[in-house]
Amino acid sequence: MRSFILSAVGIITLSLNLHAICPQKNITLRPIGNYRTGIFADGACEIVAYDPFTKRLFSVNGHTGSVDVTNIRNPSNPTSLFSIALESYGKSANSIAVCNGLLAVAVENENKQDPGKLLIFTTWGDCMLLKSIEVGSLPDMVTFTPNGQYILVANEGEPSDDYLVDPEGSVSIIDLRWGPFLATEKKVDFKRFNDQKEELIRSGVRIYGPDATVAQDLEPEYIAVSHDSKTAWITLQENNAIGIISIRDATVKSIVPLGYKDHNSPMNKFDASDKDGMIYLNTWPVKGLYLPDAICRFRVFGKDYLITANEGDARDYKGFSEEVRVKKLTLDPAAFPFASSLQEDQNLGRLKVTTTLGDTDMDGDYDEIYSYGARSFAIWSDKGKLIYESGSLLEMITAGYFPEEFNSNDEENESFDGRSDDKGPEPEGVVTGMIKGETYAFIGLERISGIMIFNVSNPYFPVFVDYINTRDFSGDPQTDSAGDISPEGLIFVPDYLSPTYRPLVIAGFEVSGSITIYEVVSKNVHKKCLYGRNNSFQMGFLK
């Protein structure tokens, strides 16, 4: 057992409104079933999809390159049925989705810069292949529109490691209106923006790959679709932007820059060092780029809203890398008069930042510092306007629930504070669901692991509900004795489609190679109310 004492230099006091932290209506997640592959850190259970008719669960297995099929008619006892082999179609599946008895599988090529495939199978029987369609380079996420008439595929188009080959990012729209056998593809690209490169950069869209056009540099990551199936929102993660697409017209309507988070604000404190031996949330002269991974659409009072998990991501290739620690930067003495102190390891020195932004006057030193990810989730309007940002909440909540495991790594236990210099808890997955008239967001944390629940029925004022972490910090991740680590894919199953007739959240855990089925249940009392009205939450624990 580690001992923690208050550090006089590390104390941080934050006052928060009661309703932001202590919920008025309570639900929680109760694990009722678990499926384990025993495969460590090889993506054996990354993305999951559920078919309510066959009560089958489908999961991407990056270790075998296949899609695993599991029977969850009895969710407390998931039973493996078979695997869908994909070696004749490409290297491996990256994403799956289910709708109306169809299973869509996005498969990358052996050479990921070459076009991939979208495969359509039945969800029943032996999962017969109905159609194979060529799509763009590195199809990374697939989803159906709510009306089931289209499949959308985000083709990320990552460059080769030497950065000599940089395919264009795109979105494939698969038209299913005449059935899967007659399905056709329209590719939505970003070529029309090539001559607007400088304008986009000035607006805040990050376009910075060596000699890349706009179409080459934009990398679609994740897709959300409007309730009427007419509009899609695409996260362009490395570009810190969202693309808005008209599905029927198969055109990009706009590219919206997401801006940055001001970590000098008291509401946006974060822990920047893995070498200070303590939980130390502080303000820093840093701007956090949102760089979201997952995006989800939800609807409140007849209006669509977007929620993003602001994970962060750097381009780090042999041919080009933007990543550096703050202590390696030459800081402008006027902008940073205390640079030598700031760049010490226990302060900002260890923080990983980008070299592509910050030299505002182009004189060779850095006038601003930009870090990866916002360690938060955010809610946006359907036009891409920020209406809520969770500030310091995710790190504060994990610190309150697991002070001895704060900002742990995902591949090893006993790694306290190990991710503070990088992206903290690293929110990656998000899904929403409606329960008894209330809308909830479930947010997966890639590093320390676990799922946070927020009530987002008022998108302008979300309420923290609970944090559930089925990781065992006393176990050994490599021998599969450490529970569930690194949630990648999350799905919500409403009560009317659930085998238990209660809402479910199903999570695929990338590092532990496991799937856990959670039942959404009422919670009569607060599991842990971290902060009260006008109370102070003090941080600065010394390891």
Cα distance between residue 32 and residue 29, in whole Å: 9
pLDDT over 50 at 1, yes or no: no
What six digits make up the tokens of 326? 């703050």
Q: Taking the model in full, what pTM does it have? A: 0.93
pLDDT over 80 at 460, yes or no: yes
Cα distance between residue 421 and residue 450, in whole Å: 20
Mean pLDDT of the 221-235 span: 98
pLDDT over 60 at 7, yes or no: no
Cα distance between residue 197 and residue 287, in whole Å: 23
Residue 434 forms beta bridges with which residues? 439
**Pick from 147, 64, 433, 423: which is nearest to 274 by CA?**
423
pLDDT over 50 at 397, yes or no: yes
Mean pLDDT of the 456-467 span: 97
5-313+373-542 has which fold?
A: Methylamine Dehydrogenase; Chain H (2.130.10)
pLDDT over 60 at 519, yes or no: yes
Each residue's pLDDT tens digit, 116-174: 999 999 999 999 999 999 999 999 999 999 999 999 999 999 999 999 999 999 999 99
Mean pLDDT of the 349-358 span: 98
Amino acid identity, position 323: E
What six digits make up the tokens of 428? 């990656």
Percent of residues, the chain, with pLDDT higher than 70: 92
pLDDT at 77: 96
pLDDT at 110: 96
Cα four-point dihedral sign 479, 482, 485, 490:
positive
Question: How many other β-carbons are positioned within 10 Å of the β-carbon of residue 165?
Answer: 16
Each residue's pLDDT tens digit, 413-451: 999 999 999 999 999 999 999 999 999 999 999 999 999
Least confident of 44-58, 331-345, 515-529: 515-529
Each residue's pLDDT tens digit, 487-507: 999 999 999 999 999 999 999
The single residue listed with the structure tokens 């496991």 is 514
pLDDT over 60 at 250, yes or no: yes
Each residue's pLDDT tens digit, 76-127: 999 999 999 999 999 999 999 999 999 999 999 999 999 999 999 999 999 9
**Residues 166 and 112: beta-carbon distance below 8 Å:** no
Domain boundaries, the chain: 5-313+373-542
pLDDT at 26: 85
pLDDT over 80 at 539, yes or no: no
pLDDT over 50 at 525, yes or no: no
Amino acid identity, position 46: E
Q: Which residues of 269-305 are buried (b: 16+ CB within 10 A; e: fewer)?
A: bbbbbbebebbbbbbbebbbbbbbbbbbbbeeeeebb
pLDDT at 84: 98
Mean pLDDT (the chain, rounded): 92
What six digits make up the tokens of 160? 């080769």
pLDDT at 25: 54
**Residues 220 and 170: beta-carbon distance below 8 Å:** yes
pLDDT over 80 at 236, yes or no: yes
pLDDT at 22: 52
pLDDT at 524: 64
The single residue listed with the structure tokens 């993660």 is 237
Environment class of residue 185 by beta-carbon count within 10 Å: exposed (0-12), middle (13-18) or buried (19+)? middle
Mean pLDDT of the 312-340 span: 97
Residues 6+ apart with CB under 8 A from 20: 393, 461, 462, 463, 464
